[in-house]
Amino acid sequence: MTMDAIANRFRQRIVAAGTARTPLRVRGGGSKDWYGQAPQGEVLETSDYRGIVAYEPTELVVTARCGTPLRELEEELARQGQMLAFEPPHFGPGATVGGMLAAGLSGPRRQTAGAVRDFVLGAVLMDGRGDTLRFGGQVMKNVAGYDVSRLLAGSLGMLGLVLEVSLKVLPRPTAEATLRLELAQEEALLRLNQWAGQPLPLSASAWCDGVLTLRLSGAQAAVAAAVRWIGGETLAPHVAGQWWSDVREHRHACFDAAGDAPLWRLSLPSTAPALPAPEGGMQLIEWGGSQRWLRGAVDPLALRAQAAELGGHATLFRGGDKRHGVFQPLAPAVQAIHRNLKQYFDPAGVFNPGRMYREL
């Protein structure tokens, strides 16, 4: 079946669902089915709509269809010495480009490179009416001043079916080194904030159980100078590569320290003070102190109140009781914006209802 025929099949399903007001659950490889509220509706499978549409290494831009396996895209970029700098986690072999955009999750390199949305240049979206809309630098002006192509990052498919996405890619660094230092949480946070204001080629950081691990990426001379200046134990390249992969994919032992207890993700200012781990649980700190993972039994309302007081928010990332919501509740004005966008792109409420917030 051709890609045009598959797209037409999508359109027919969406139009029929809109007429019957039957919800659709957009699904690529299913590697992130657990993220957000429980999926609802009939499955709209996207894995057949796959392939790299355009890739020009000299322009640092790639365009791929939603069902393209994320692994295949990364392998093609690696052959050209390039990468997705935000290091998206896969969380399973079936991860797709569409799921990557919908989840909007970034890995360790997000600390310096930026998030998924920072690399989105354009997108093709099939909305709740079955219309195909193009956003970015091509045809359709963004609605009401919103950069819709980037707005799709992290939307969990609630606005429509992303058919294609164009992404900025970057060259892989010529040199990398990973250092390990034994530091208490308070000292690790202090140093991370100090290093952030200095011209060091830091590309990732992670602290857990009294050990701070740093990754340095860039020119050979800059990396070598930073290694000498910071000190610590240098990991062998193959060990370091596996270590950062395990952190990105949540295979690291720190994530298993509290068994199947709920996993919370806190987004905080990097200068936020050290926080205690839940009793009998664990804590892992990334992104220079800005992302903190807590695993264990916590009071959701108290944790969110604490995160808000510190200038951030808390997400129930995996497991736990979702009755209090997965994401931090929205302020009324922001909730109204979300509601208006949902109404504009998906007036019948077909796409992934309630996946992000129950009222959407």
Q: What is the pLDDT of residues 186-219, one digit of tens each?
A: 999 999 999 999 999 999 999 999 999 999 999 9
Q: Indicate the CATH number for domain 3-171+337-345.
A: 3.30.465.10
DSSP annotation string for 99-148: HHHHHT---TTHHHH--GGGGEEEEEEE-TTS-EEEESSSSSPPGGG--H
Query: pLDDT at position 148, please?
Result: 86
Chain centroid to CA 213 = 21
Decide: 104 and 153 in contact? Cβ < 8 Å.
yes
pLDDT of residue 137: 53
The rounded distance, in Å, linking the Cα atoms of 279 and 142 is 47
Q: Which residues of 330-352 are buried (b: 16+ CB within 10 A; e: fewer)?
A: beeeeeeebeebbeebbebbbbb
Q: Kindly report, residue by residue over 135-183, the tens digit of the pLDDT.
A: 985 333 444 446 888 999 999 999 999 999 999 999 999 999 999 999 9
For residues 308-324, give the mean pLDDT.
95
Q: What is the DSSP string of 14-76?
A: HHHHHHHT--EEEESS-TTTTSSSPP-SEEEE-TTS--EEEEEGGGTEEEEETTSBHHHHHHH
Cβ-proximal residues to 201 (8 Å cutoff; 6+ apart), any chain = 216, 217, 218, 219, 222, 223, 226
Spatial distance between the Cα atoms of 231 and 145, rounded to a whole number of angstroms: 48
